[in-house]
Structure formats: C-alpha cells, structure tokens
Structure 1
Amino acid sequence: MKIVVTEAAASWFKNDFSIDENEKVKFYARIYGSSPVQENFALGFDKESDPNNEAVRTEVNGVTFYIEDEDVWFFDGHDLHVDYDKDEDELTFDYKK
C-alpha cells in the first residue's frame, strides 16, 4: 500500500491545517462515519510529532504523511490518494487497488 498526496493537498495542509515543514500528518481509522472501504469507520487525520509504528509514509513539500501499523487494516489493500478540490475548497480522498 502507498499514500499519494498531491502538491495541492500538501499546500492545503500547510495553509489551512497549519502544518509546517518537518511536521507529520497521521491518517487513521475513526469509529463512526463511513468510507468506501470500511462500513462504520471513516478516515481521520491529525498532526503528530512522532509515529509509534509507521507502516507507510510519503513526503511532499517537506511534510511527512503516514499510516501506522494498527490502521493498515482500514485501507483493505487500497492505496490512499489525497487531493484538493479547489471548487469545493476541500480535500478529497480516493482509495485505489
């Protein structure tokens, strides 16, 4: 599995989520909500300082994005693609096999 974050999405994290270079964003499974890959679970993200057990990571524009071992099950073998929709002014998440 891999994480793909576009430069537009990385810019959103820097500008709207106040992430600085050399900081990290953790993607994780949240109870409640919905997603195309898991019923009753949604994707969450948060600013984190250090991963506990990093399973997957990517870096875009100096920001590290990662998923820990304990949350890999959520993606059910899919890659996570994160982009920014300028018209809607929001992030988009796509799950691709």
Structure 2
Amino acid sequence: MQIQVSDAASQWFRDELALQSGDAVRFFGKVYGQTAVHDGFSLGMECATVEQPIGSVVKDGITYFASQSDEWFFADYDLQVDYDPELEEPKYQFERR
C-alpha cells in the first residue's frame, strides 16, 4: 500500500493537530459512514505511534501510515490525501492497485 500526502494536506494536519517533526498520523477504517470504495465504513485518522505499518510516507517530518490491523480496509488500494479548500478539511481518494 502506498500513501501520498499533498503539501496542502500536510499543512492542514500540522496546523489542526499541532503536529511536530517526529509525530505520526494513523489512517484506519471505522464502522459507519461511506467512502468511494466502502459502504458502511469510513476513514478515520488519529495521532499514534507507528506500529506494524502496511504503508507509510514521511512528509514534512510527519509519518502518515496505516497499520496491519487495518489491512482489510486498504486491501487492493493506495491512499491519496489532499486538501479541500471549500470544506477546509482533508479529502481522501482510493486508487486501485
């Protein structure tokens, strides 16, 4: 699994979560909601310690990752994280591998 984080999304995460170099953000599947590829599940994120990553990227000193426990959610997909200026929040796109 590959994760890409745009410059604008990275800035949003650093500003909104008060992240500093060396911190990490975990993406995970959670019950309820919907994504473009999951019905009944949505994408969550939290500040966390990197553990058993199945995909990760370091951007501006921050590690963005998904862990092995969420492999079911990301199976067959890469994750692109961008920023939506109209909604003033991140937007997520799943790309089939």
SS in 2 for 1:87: coil
- How many correspondences in the alignment? 96
Farther off after superposition, 18-27 or 81-90:
81-90
- Report the Cα offset of residue 18 of structure 1: 1.5
User: Residue 96 of structure 1 corresponds to which residue in structure 2?
Assistant: 95
Unaligned runs of 5+ in 1: none
**Is residue 14 from structure 1 mapped to residue 18 from structure 2 by the alignment?**
no
Give identity over the alignment, percent.
Answer: 29
- Report the Cα offset of residue 76 of structure 1: 3.2
The structure with more strand, counted as a fraction of residues = 2
- Report the Cα offset of residue 96 of structure 1: 0.8
Matched ranges for 1:78-97 at <5 A: 78-97=77-96
Unaligned runs of 5+ in 2: none
Farther off after superposition, 6-15 or 81-90:
81-90
- Report the Cα offset of residue 36 of structure 1: 1.6
- Report the Cα offset of residue 34 of structure 1: 1.1
User: Residue 67 of structure 1 corresponds to which residue in structure 2?
Assistant: 66
Matched ranges for 1:33-72 at <5 A: 33-48=33-48, 50-72=49-71
CA–CA separation in structure 2 for the residues paired with 1:7 and 1:74: 25
After the TM superposition, which parts of structure 1 deviate over 6 Å for at least 4 consecutive aligned residues? none
What is the TM-score when the length of structure 2 is the normalising length? 0.91
Letter in structure 1 aligned against 2:13: F
Does the 8 A contact of 1:37 with 1:75 survive in 2? no
CA RMSD in angstroms, aligned pairs only: 1.1
CA–CA separation in structure 1 for the residues paired with 2:84 and 2:14: 15
CA–CA separation in structure 2 for the residues paired with 1:25 and 1:58: 10
What is the TM-score when the length of structure 1 is the normalising length? 0.91
Change (3 A) 1:55 1:76: closer
